[in-house]
Amino acid sequence: NAGVTQTPKFQVLKTGQSMTLQCAQDMNHNSMYWYRQDPGMGLRLIYYSASEGTTDKGEVPNGYNVSRLNKREFSLRLESAAPSQTSVYFCASRAGGHYEQYFGPGTRLTVT
């Protein structure tokens, strides 16, 4: 039981490049989330998915797209990376009827 896994762990992009951050969970959770974390800003919700086939915007969705590929996987795509997207990205999941979120180890992204 790996919990929530994320790939890659580190990434450096040039401005304008695109990439997809992958997230998978093996706990059979319905809900999945993408957050970004910047110094002094806490965790800000980018997108979330309450169930397979549904996605909704969070607080800071501009510049991102998501895909809930199946119940296990929830990917985050940066179509044209900008330096303002330099951050640590966390994926999380939670089970129906429970308030505990489980987080992946994070992806540290730098855009130059």
Task: Please report, for residues 17, 41, 54, the alpha-carbon distance to residue 106 in angstroms, rounded to integers and kept in the order given.
Answer: 20, 16, 23
Using the minimum distance from each CB to another protein, give the nearer residue, 17 or 86. Answer: 86
Closest by CA to 89, choosing from 19, 1, 9, 26, is: 9
Mark 44-83 with x for binding to another protein (rule: CB under 8 A) and - for no binding: xx--x-x-----x-xx------------------------
Using the minimum distance from each CB to another protein, give the nearer residue, 18 or 28. Answer: 28
Pick the binder of another protein from 1, 2, 10, 42 (CB under 8 A): 42
103 is an interface residue for another protein by CB under 8 A = yes
Using the minimum distance from each CB to another protein, give the nearer residue, 77 or 98. Answer: 98
Using CA atoms in the order 6, 53, 18, 109, what is the torsion angle rounded to 10 degrees? -30
Footprint of another protein on this chain (CB under 8 A)? 30-31, 33, 35, 40-45, 48, 50, 56, 58-59, 90, 92, 94, 96-97, 99-106
